[in-house]
Amino acid sequence: MFNLRFSREMALKEISVDGYEIIRNSYVVVVGIGATGSPAADLFVRAGVGKIRLIDGDTVDISNIHRQILYSENDVGRKKPDAASERLRIVNGGCEIESVPQFLSQENASELLGKPSIVIDGTDNMQTRRIINSYCVENRIPWVFISSIGTVSQAKGILPGSTSCLDCFVDRNLNYSMSCEETGVLASAPVMASSLAWTIALRILLNQDENGDLYYIDPWNLVMEKIHINRNPQCPTCSNIQN
């Protein structure tokens, strides 16, 4: 059915009317509505996704505004998913948007993540990403890893049983994460990574080939690289998962 609002999207041969219908019937969960989660959520809502759940227990800080595109000065002190969902409902009133002002944990992962079409990582720490990875691998849910610090960002699609997972290339004993407070962050880096991650997620939803390559982006130094990561046959998380 023709829809003027999404006509430019449906006119794209890579998406078409059939692809738009898949997007419209998809359910996306975004964990972490900060510098990387905000642009990804925004793009999904603008693309016409049917349902999106925003999970984050953090509040908006004035230091977030320079790179977290869903917030303004008026949002300082508010729960991020509440402020973000209010903004996104203005963008697309036809999208079902759920605000979940909680931090993801091992104990609530099943309740908060549920059974979506795909999960987007908008977090800033490896501990939470490992929870996402374990849950998604166990439940065969595709997800997209995103990280951004300094001038550098990374993005990677993960299809359980098909591509390498997070634990295939990141040591599970590695718990240290650099912080934006200490290192700083170039505002364009998370936005570029999120845009790429959203595109990877869209390709997954539309059943395009996904080999799980890790994309490395450094916009300040004008660098973009693609790194292939094979599945680890000894991976403690995904080695027993078959396609």
Alpha helices in the chain (DSSP H): 7-11, 16-24, 37-47, 80-91, 109-113, 126-138, 166-169, 180-183, 188-205
pLDDT at 48: 97
pTM of the model: 0.95
- Read off the pLDDT of residues 125-135 as tens digits, 9 standing for 90 and up: 999 999 999 99
What average pLDDT score do residues 62-73 get? 96
Average pLDDT, the chain: 94
At 67, the pLDDT band (50, 70, 90 cuts) reads very high
What average pLDDT score do residues 70-95 get? 97
pLDDT at 171: 82
pLDDT at 1 over 50: no
pLDDT at 131: 97
The domain ranges of the chain are 4-227
pLDDT at 39 over 50: yes
Q: Which of 216, 166, 207 is nearest to 19 (CA)?
A: 207
pLDDT at 213 over 80: yes
- Read off the pLDDT of residues 155-200 as tens digits, 9 standing for 90 and up: 999 999 999 999 999 987 666 566 666 778 999 999 999 999 999 9
What average pLDDT score do residues 85-89 get? 98
- Read off the pLDDT of residues 96-122 as tens digits, 9 standing for 90 and up: 999 999 999 999 999 999 999 999 999
pLDDT at 209: 87
**The domain 4-227: what is its CATH number?**
3.40.50.720
Cβ neighbours of residue 234 closer than 8 Å, sequence gap 6 or more: none
- Read off the pLDDT of residues 8-33 as tens digits, 9 standing for 90 and up: 999 999 999 999 999 999 999 999 99
Distance, CA of 166 to CA of 29 (rounded, Å): 18
Which neighbouring-strand residues pair with 51?
A: 27, 96
